[in-house]
Amino acid sequence: MKPELIHSIGTVTEFPVICIIGNTEIPSFLGLSEEEKSYAHKRFAGNKDTVFINSYSKYTALARIKNEIPQFRQHEELRKAAVDLRKDILEAGFKTVMITGFEVDPSMVLAFTEGMMLSLYKFDKYRKPKPDEKSLPEKIIINANIPETDFLWLKYSCEAVYAVRDMINEPPLKMNAHAFSEEIKRMGSSGGFSVEIFDKNRIAALRMGGLLGVNSGSIDPPRFCIMEYKPANAINKKPLILIGKGVVLDTGGLNIKTGNYMDLMKTDMAGGAAVTGAMYLIARTGIPLHVVALVPVTDNRPGLNAIAPGDILTMHNGTTVEILNTDAEGRLILADAVSYASKYDPMLIITVATLTGSAAMAFGKNATAMMGTAPDEYMDAMISAGEEVFERIAPMPFWEEYSESLKSDVADIQNVGDREGGAIVAGRFVASFTASPFIHLDIAGTGMLKKDDHYRTKEGPGTGVRLLAAFARSLINNMIIQK
What are the residue numbers of the active site?
257, 331
Dihedral sign, Cα of residue 387, residue 388, residue 391, residue 393:
negative
Residues 6 or more apart in contact with residue 237 via CB below 8 angstroms? 347, 483
Residues 6 or more apart in contact with residue 379 via CB below 8 angstroms? 370, 372, 395, 439
Q: Say how far apart CA 163 and CA 111 lie, in whole Å.
A: 20
Give phi and psi for 445, each to the nearest 5: -85, -30
User: For the chain, how are helix, strand and coil distributed in percent, rounded to 5?
Assistant: 40, 20, 40
Report yes or no: 463 and 456 within 8 Å, Cβ to Cβ.
yes
Start-to-end CA distance of the chain, whole Å, equals 43
Q: In what order do the strands lie in the sheet with 4-7?
A: 4-7, 139-143, 96-102, 17-21, 59-64, 50-54
- Residue among 376, 341, 368, 380 nearest 471 (CA): 380
Dihedral sign, Cα of residue 39, residue 40, residue 44, residue 50:
positive
Over its C-alpha atoms, the chain yields an Rg (Å, rounded) of 24
Q: Say how far apart CA 400 and CA 140 lie, in whole Å.
A: 51
Bridging pattern class, strands 50-54 and 320-322: unpaired
Report yes or no: 285 and 152 within 8 Å, Cβ to Cβ.
yes
Residues 6 or more apart in contact with residue 68 via CB below 8 angstroms? none
